[in-house]
Amino acid sequence: MALSSAWRSVLPLWLLWSAACSRAASGDDNAFPFDIEGSSAVGRQDPPETSEPRVALGRLPPAAEKCNAGFFHTLSGECVPCDCNGNSNECLDGSGYCVHCQRNTTGEHCEKCLDGYIGDSIRGAPQFCQPCPCPLPHLANFAESCYRKNGAVRCICNENYAGPNCERCAPGYYGNPLLIGSTCKKCDCSGNSDPNLIFEDCDEVTGQCRNCLRNTTGFKCERCAPGYYGDARIAKNCAVCNCGGGPCDSVTGECLEEGFEPPTGCDKCVWDLTDDLRLAALSIEEGKSGVLSVSSGAAAHRHVNEINATIYLPKKKKKKKKKK
């Protein structure tokens, strides 16, 4: 009876040992799928360690050596020649983008011309990038950029210029772009041109104003018209002379003699010149401080005195002529 009871207690342990031995013999590594605490150990195995260094995506290996001039490191660490179309010998590691492009070129591979230049940046001389002929290459280029269309160069002009090759001034500007050293300047009509226009109207070459308004006249609409007096330039208050239909001084409104006749010929030139000098005198005081601040030497003072004398002498002669 005792032997039978002992056998029943030993039999389960013997069966478990036999099953383990058979699984080990068959090469099953998971003979004991439970840990000591009875929880599953399957799927908890740590990955095997490797001795190779890990490299983040997009970065070069830390041990990569510097490439020679004209080459760059790829992401795999190889040295590859720069592709800059012969316009640079430097490019960035990883991307291969070119830097310090020469011969007026730009782009990731120095493959296009800078703004304001035109040509073939890839073929090289004499096709490499040249200043836009807008209108004259090297001498007078007034374009932001240019391009070829149907075999001809077309220019994208700066604000002051117009025409397929920027060969003339835009409306509201005057000058001659085809003349070396000349530029297009803004029309100056003393604010007495047509207010309905978005720009002042003047001759595109000479700059002489057209259609002076507010009873004004002159090259820049800078003085009151005959029969009117006042300040055409600043106050813009040219009013009719109060002389019973007779003439008056264009500035003060003082009535002139009954027999006064408007000057003609050379006298008219002198008359107009004195008016111009009077207007110039208004801005001389403003310019004096500017001139003297640039150069306070004797030459600057002498120049200012010469300007004053130029204005004073014609005015003095004009007063003498009135008294006669």
Quote the CA–CA distance of 247 and 275 in Å, as a whole number.
Answer: 16
Quote the CA–CA distance of 101 and 91 in Å, as a whole number.
Answer: 10
Quote the CA–CA distance of 164 and 113 in Å, as a whole number.
Answer: 20
User: Residue 309: its pLDDT value, please?
Assistant: 59
User: Residue 294: its pLDDT value, please?
Assistant: 46
User: Residue 149: its pLDDT value, please?
Assistant: 85
Q: What is the pLDDT along the chain (324 residues), one digit of tens a residue?
A: 454 555 555 555 555 555 555 554 444 544 444 333 333 333 444 444 444 444 444 444 544 578 999 999 998 889 999 999 989 999 999 999 999 999 899 999 999 888 888 887 677 655 678 889 999 888 899 999 998 888 888 999 999 999 999 999 999 999 999 999 999 999 999 999 888 888 889 999 999 999 899 999 999 999 999 899 999 999 999 999 998 888 899 899 999 876 555 666 676 676 566 666 655 655 555 455 444 444 445 555 555 566 665 555 666 666 666 565
Query: SS3 helix, strand, coil % of the chain, rounded to 5?
Result: 25, 15, 60
Quote the CA–CA distance of 94 and 162 in Å, as a whole number.
Answer: 45
User: Residue 125: its pLDDT value, please?
Assistant: 57
Quote the CA–CA distance of 99 and 91 in Å, as a whole number.
Answer: 5
Query: Of 140, 137, 141, 115, whose CA–CA distance to 126 is shortest?
Result: 137
Number of Cα atoms under 13 Å in the Cβ half of residue 86: 7
Domain ranges for the chain, please list them. 67-130, 263-324
| Lookup result for tokens 């109207």 | 201
How distant, in Å, are the alpha carbons of 69, 223, 231, 269 from that of 243?
Answer: 88, 19, 18, 24
User: Residue 21: its pLDDT value, please?
Assistant: 52
H or E stretch including 277?
helix 265-294
CB 309 within 8 A of CB 322: no
- Give the angle subtended at the CA of 277 by the CAs of 275 and 279, to the nearest 5°: 75
Quote the CA–CA distance of 64 and 33 in Å, as a whole number.
Answer: 46
User: Residue 318: its pLDDT value, please?
Assistant: 62
Quote the CA–CA distance of 284 and 198 in Å, as a whole number.
Answer: 30
User: Residue 186: its pLDDT value, please?
Assistant: 94
pTM to 2 decimals? 0.52
User: Residue 324: its pLDDT value, please?
Assistant: 58
User: Residue 266: its pLDDT value, please?
Assistant: 73
Q: At residue 150, what are phi and psi to the nearest 5 degrees?
A: 55, 40
Q: Which CATH superfamily is domain 67-130 in?
A: Laminin (2.10.25.10)
User: Residue 130: its pLDDT value, please?
Assistant: 87
